[in-house]
């Protein structure tokens, strides 16, 4: 017969699950909700570190010293790679097995985003003229043109902005957001939500030019999301497309 304290207060029972069992329970619940890629404890912890730190990055950037932010970026990148290590490996395998189709998908996606950018450019230019505001210099490429930056800083910035950041953004906005929302909403809705959030996440201040720029980023996010969905949710292909879109701009900014 159970003792009286355990009957009155079940949390005092010797039969309550231990810490590891509770942790695995949380991992399983997160997996069923589509928030993590597998049920392992390591994946769950890495996913939540990645999501929480990355989502709060704008706030962290406003309260933490700038010297600390490279460490924050490093944590985000490492946590993302650990959280989605199996997803990336499987996506790379599928992309290589169908490499001709994958190449066509990336090239077609690049041309599609280019055409979409040109079309949206007319809209953003109209908005700039209508509101009488100047074009803002994107924060993520502006730091590359700082005259006092050393060669090492420029190279590290190029690697992060041109390669690491696109991979991280694809894992967050496509793999995590579309994957999570897609479990509970139509694919088109999760695609639109992730694209709008992608655009808003590139707004660094409340000035009008930043919000107008968000329209272009939203269009780019929509193109990347379409490639992700149409490729069978292959985050490696959308990441390669994102890198192809970012890296030339970063290199040109670096060389100018």
Q: What is the pLDDT of residues 168-200, one digit of tens each?
A: 999 999 999 998 898 889 999 999 999 999 999
- What is the number of other CB atoms lying within 10 angstroms of the CB of residue 242? 31
Lowest mean pLDDT among 45-54, 193-202, 208-217, 221-230: 208-217
Distance CA 247, CA 179 (A): 26
Residue 10 reports pLDDT greater than 90: no
Mean pLDDT, residues 90-114 taken together: 96
Same domain, yes or no: 125 and 243 = yes
Q: Same domain for 73 and 145?
A: no
Q: What are phi and psi of 15, to 5 degrees?
A: -90, 0
C-alpha–C-alpha distance, residues 50 and 172, integer Å: 8
pLDDT at 111: 96
Q: Do residues 166 and 241 share a domain?
A: yes
Q: Write down the pLDDT at residue 30.
A: 63
Nearest to 195 by CA among 167, 172, 163: 172
Calculate mean pLDDT across residues 137-162. 68
Picking from 26, 53, 83, the residue at the C-terminal end of a domain is: 83
Reported as a pLDDT band with limits 50, 70 and 90, residue 6 is very low
- Are 79 and 91 contained in the same domain? no
Domain housing 25: 18-83
Neighbours of 24 (CB within 10 A): 16
Domain boundary among 29, 61, 83: 83
| End-of-domain residue from the set 83, 98, 131 | 83
Do 40 and 92 fall within a single domain? no
What pLDDT score does 57 carry?
86
Residue 165 confidence (pLDDT)? 94
Output 23 or 40, whichever has higher pLDDT: 40
Q: How many domains does the chain have?
A: 2
pLDDT at 2: 47
Q: Please state, for a pLDDT cut of 90, what percent of the chain lies above it.
A: 49
pLDDT value of position 76 = 95
Tell me, yes or no, whether 77 and 139 share the same domain.
no
Statement: residue 129 has pLDDT above 70: yes
Cα(225)–Cα(173) distance, integer angstroms: 8
How much is the pLDDT for 177? 94
- Report if residue 213 sits inside a domain: yes
> Taking Cα atoms as reference points, which of 86, 98, 113 lies closest to residue 231?
98
Residue, of 166 and 121, whose pLDDT is higher: 166
Dihedral, CA of residue 62, residue 66, residue 70 and residue 76, to nearest 10? -10
pLDDT of residue 75: 95
The Cα–Cα gap between 56 and 61 comes to: 9
């Amino acid at each position: 017969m159970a003792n009286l304290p355990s009957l009155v207060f079940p949390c005092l029972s010797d039969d309550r699950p231990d810490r590891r069992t509770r942790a695995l329970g949380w991992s399983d619940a997160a997996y069923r909700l589509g928030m993590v890629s597998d049920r392992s404890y390591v994946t769950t912890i890495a996913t939540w570190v990645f999501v929480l730190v990355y989502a709060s990055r704008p706030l962290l950037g406003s309260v933490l010293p700038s010297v600390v932010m490279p460490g924050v970026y490093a944590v985000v990148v490492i946590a993302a790679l650990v959280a989605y290590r199996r997803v990336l490996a499987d996506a790379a395998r599928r992309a290589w097995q169908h490499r001709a189709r994958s190449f066509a998908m990336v090239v077609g996606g690049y041309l599609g985003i280019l055409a979409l950018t040109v079309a949206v450019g007319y809209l953003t230019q109209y908005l700039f003229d209508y509101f009488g505001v100047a074009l803002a210099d994107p924060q993520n490429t502006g730091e590359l043109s700082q005259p006092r930056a050393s060669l090492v800083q420029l190279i590290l910035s190029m690697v992060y902005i041109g390669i690491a950041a696109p991979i991280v953004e694809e894992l967050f906005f496509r793999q995590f957001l579309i994957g999570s929302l897609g479990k509970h909403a139509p694919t088109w809705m999760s695609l639109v939500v992730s694209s709008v959030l992608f655009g808003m996440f590139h707004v660094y201040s409340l000035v009008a030019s930043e919000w107008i720029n968000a329209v272009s980023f939203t269009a780019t996010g929509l193109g990347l999301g379409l490639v992700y969905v149409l490729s069978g949710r292959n985050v490696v292909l959308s990441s390669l497309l994102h890198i192809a879109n970012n890296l030339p701009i970063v290199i040109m900014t670096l060389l100018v």
